[in-house]
Each structure stands twice: as C-alpha cells, then as structure tokens.
Amino acid sequence: MSGPALLLERDASLPLIHTGISTRSGAAEDPEGLEGLTRISGRLMRRTAGGQSADQIDARIDRMGASLGLDAGHGGVALSGVVLERSFGELMSLLEETLTAPGLAEDELERLKRETGAELMEILDSDQQLVQRWFLRTVFAGHPYGRTVIGTEKSLAAIQLADVRSCLAREFRQDNVVFGFAGAVEPARAERASRAIWEQLPPGGSTPPPPPDPVASGGRRLLFVDKPERTQTQILIGGIGSHPSDGDHLALTIANTVFGGTFTARLTQEVRAKRGWSYGAYSSLGYDRRRQAFSMWTFPKAEDAAACIQLELEMLQQWWHSGITEEEFVWAKRYLIQSQAFARDTATKRIGLKLDELLNDLPPGYHDEFVPRLEAVTLEQANAAVRSRISLEHLAVVVLGTHAAIGDDVRKAIPELASERVVPFDTE
C-alpha cells in the first residue's frame, strides 16, 4: 500500500472536525481464554498515550474542547473524537502518541481490569444486557460471535502486558487501519495528518479473514436465565440472519420492516397495542463482517411471558408461510426510502456509512445505491427472502425470569422443543 486508507466528507458549515481511526479486525481474533483482550488493550493504549497518565491525557483533551473515545467489537476497534477546527493538529498529535507511543503501564492495566470487573457486575443488574449476552452465546455457540467482547472474570485475570502488546501489534498495522474525517477539514490537511501516523505503524498486517459463516443448527432451544424475584421478563427469540452481501438482504429488510422493524409493525400492534403485554416488541437484523442474528425482542410481565412467546412463534410462522401483503410491501419500501434522507443528512453520518461499507465487507457502493436497489425489489422476492433466510426449525428462545415461577409454562409454550437449559443469572 502506497499510503493510508483514508475516507473524507468535507462540510465547513461548522468549525468542527470528526476524526476516527478504525481497524479491520477486532475481538473475534481474541485467543481462547483471553476474551476481552482487544477491548482492554485498546483502552490501555488510549489511557497511556505518550507515556502519560490517564488524568494528564483527559486534561489535554479538555483544553482542546474535544472528546476522544474508544469502542471495540467483534469486527474492529475504533478511536473516534470531535474537535474544534483550530485544535485539529493537537488532537492528531495525541492520536499519534496513542497509536505509536503508548506507555502501557502495568498499574493502569490492573486498574482497567478492576474497572472492567465492575462493569461485569453492573451487567448482572441489567436484565436486558444479560438476555442479550445469553442470546448471542446460544445462537452463535462455538462461533466467535458467541464469545464476549468485554471478557469474563477469569479471562481478564489471565491477560498480561505481553498479551496487550501482541494484540496492539496485530491490530494497528498499516494495512489494517482506516482513517476517517468529516467536517471542516481540507483534504490535504487530512492526508498529512493521517500519513504522519500511518508511516510510524508497523508495515504489512493484512486484514485477517472474517470468521466462518455461522450455521443454523440445534433445533428449537430454550435457554432460561434464572434470576430471583423477577416480576418482568426479558425475551429474545431468533437465529441466524442475513448480510448485505446476500442478494436477498434488502428484500428481507423490507419484509422485516413490516414484521417488527417499526413502532407500527405487526409485532408491536399484536403484542403491545392489542394485548398490552410489552411496551415494546421489535424484530431486527444485524450484521458484522458475517451474518449476525435475526431477533425478536419483548419484555412482558412474568405472568404474560408464556403467552407472549406462543404468540410470537405463531406470528413468525405465519410471516414465514404467508409473507407480507402488497399494501404492507408498498408502505415498507416507501418508509425505508424516506428514512435514507435522515441516514445521510450530515457529513458524520455519511462517513459512517462509508466506514460501514469498508469495515463490514459490504458490496461496493452499497449505501450509495441503496435506494435504486431497494426500489427494484419485488413483493415476491421479499416473501421468498423470509423463507430462505429465516429458520423456523433452528430457533433460540432465551428468557430471563424466575424459573420456579414461570419455567414450566414457558417450556410448554414452545412447540417442537429440542432442548432446554436453565442457567443461574450470575453464571460466567
């Protein structure tokens, strides 16, 4: 590569610059037993830039009137910040120190381990986060997407400075980073700033291949996360979804918009409006570098959980067999087309779409061509996509509640159940 991979969306209407440095790989590369390594390595790098303390770095950021955050996922690590145009050079200098000269202090690593351990404890208090964790573990059992990004108590304890250094050397190499800028920055200035960092990174480091495609299997599985004294439940039902590289992804997106993608969709109307079982009822399609999950999410009272699950499974089956109507199809397509205006109305959003395309292995021009390709989808294709991509046979039903109170009723609500497992809510 002759220079850094650089994306730019200029907009000088405000004297602000959004800047980011992203990697093309992430926590999916964490070794077995060292889950959470990528996330904690990135945070340690951010908090020891140039050998300074975290307090010194935060003070520098405050003096610039800037912000600088770090996010880690299965598919990548992203450093992103916002700064006044006049302080752009200072922020890029800090980013240079972050990537090329982090202090990686031992005491700061131990502090981060303790903080992350506290985050794990907080997750135990969040029923929604807990059910999401167990849903991914169940749908993607044996696959990198089923492994935790934040880590576990055991894996965090095992992480050493040598592991951090290996991780950062793996992630932050010339061929594995992408620079993105949006706002009041000239192209030449962005090029100089990114090249100054890029030239100091280790050469090579081609992007690791994505993980294997997840495969639907296991039949209908019930995973009950047992938590005492729950008067309300959290329920996620679903399986493997789709990816924009699939030819029928947009067709499925239209069908899902009708089924559970908006506040007026079928799920919300049946679960919330007609029966009052759950304030929200939605279905979603996620993706990473590979297919992520299709999921239905509700959170009814404990006494309504079994009936709610039964209704959702019946609605899913009806959607699969009968599809959506012409009227629903026309409405959903119009809704998605009109929504695109809000997805692209700022330079920051447009650069985000470009990064999404590059980092998640989307077809070239995916977002730029979204509307014309959406318009080309037919009703028949939308309904065929549901039958092709959504499995009625291989479904994970993950429920967080009090098993002694509702476990038997929940199990009976799931026809053709292949397996059942109950886990205490604080199981690592």
In this prediction, residue 31 carries a pLDDT of 95
Q: Which residues contact 281 (CB under 8 A, 6 or more apart)?
A: 260, 267, 268, 270, 271, 272, 296, 297, 298, 312
Burial class, 385, CB count within 10 angstroms (exposed 0-12 / middle 13-18 / buried 19+): buried
In this prediction, residue 293 carries a pLDDT of 97
Q: What is the Cα–Cα distance from 328 to 309, expressed in whole angstroms? A: 24
Q: Given a cut of 80, is residue 155 above it in pLDDT? A: yes
Residues 127-140 pLDDT 10s: 999 999 999 999 99
Its sign, for the CA torsion 356, 240, 410, 222, is negative
Angle separating helix axes 127-139 and 106-125, nearest 10 degrees: 100
H-state helical runs in 1-49: 37-47
Q: Residue 295 in contact with residue 237, Cβ under 8 Å?
A: yes
Q: Residue 253 in contact with residue 343, Cβ under 8 Å?
A: no
Distances (CA, A) of 14 to 85, 137, 192, 354: 9, 44, 22, 21
Distances (CA, A) of 46 to 99, 173, 359, 396: 8, 16, 21, 37
**Domains recognised in the chain with CATH numbers:** 5-198 (3.30.830.10), 220-424 (3.30.830.10)
Q: What is the Cα–Cα distance from 106 to 223, expressed in whole angstroms? A: 39
Q: What average pLDDT does this structure show over 412-417? A: 97
Q: What is the Cα–Cα distance from 93 to 60, expressed in whole angstroms? A: 11
Q: What is the Cα–Cα distance from 105 to 113, expressed in whole angstroms? A: 13
Angle separating helix axes 88-100 and 54-64, nearest 10 degrees: 160
Tell which residue, 108, 111, 129, has the closest CA to residue 120. Answer: 129
* Res. 41 pLDDT band, cuts 50 70 90: very high
Average pLDDT, the chain: 96
Judged by average pLDDT, the poorest of 190-199, 204-213, 240-249, 386-395 is: 204-213
Residues 265-293 pLDDT 10s: 999 999 999 999 999 999 999 999 999 99
* Res. 204 pLDDT band, cuts 50 70 90: confident
Q: Which two tokens stand for residue 72?
A: 């880690």
Output phi, psi for 247, to 5 deg.
-65, -20
In this prediction, residue 208 carries a pLDDT of 81
Other C-beta atoms closer than 10 Å to the C-beta of 404 total: 9
Q: What average pLDDT does this structure show over 370-377? A: 96
Output phi, psi for 21, to 5 deg.
-130, 120
H-state helical runs in 5-87: 37-47, 54-64
Query: Around 166, how many Cα atoms within 13 Å sit in the side-chain half-sphere?
Result: 10
Other C-beta atoms closer than 10 Å to the C-beta of 114 total: 10
Question: How far apart are the two ends of the chain, measured CA to CA in Å?
Answer: 43
Q: Residue 21 in contact with residue 148, Cβ under 8 Å?
A: no
Other C-beta atoms closer than 10 Å to the C-beta of 29 total: 17
Q: What is the Cα–Cα distance from 345 to 396, expressed in whole angstroms? A: 37
Q: What is the Cα–Cα distance from 287 to 290, expressed in whole angstroms? A: 6
In this prediction, residue 1 carries a pLDDT of 53
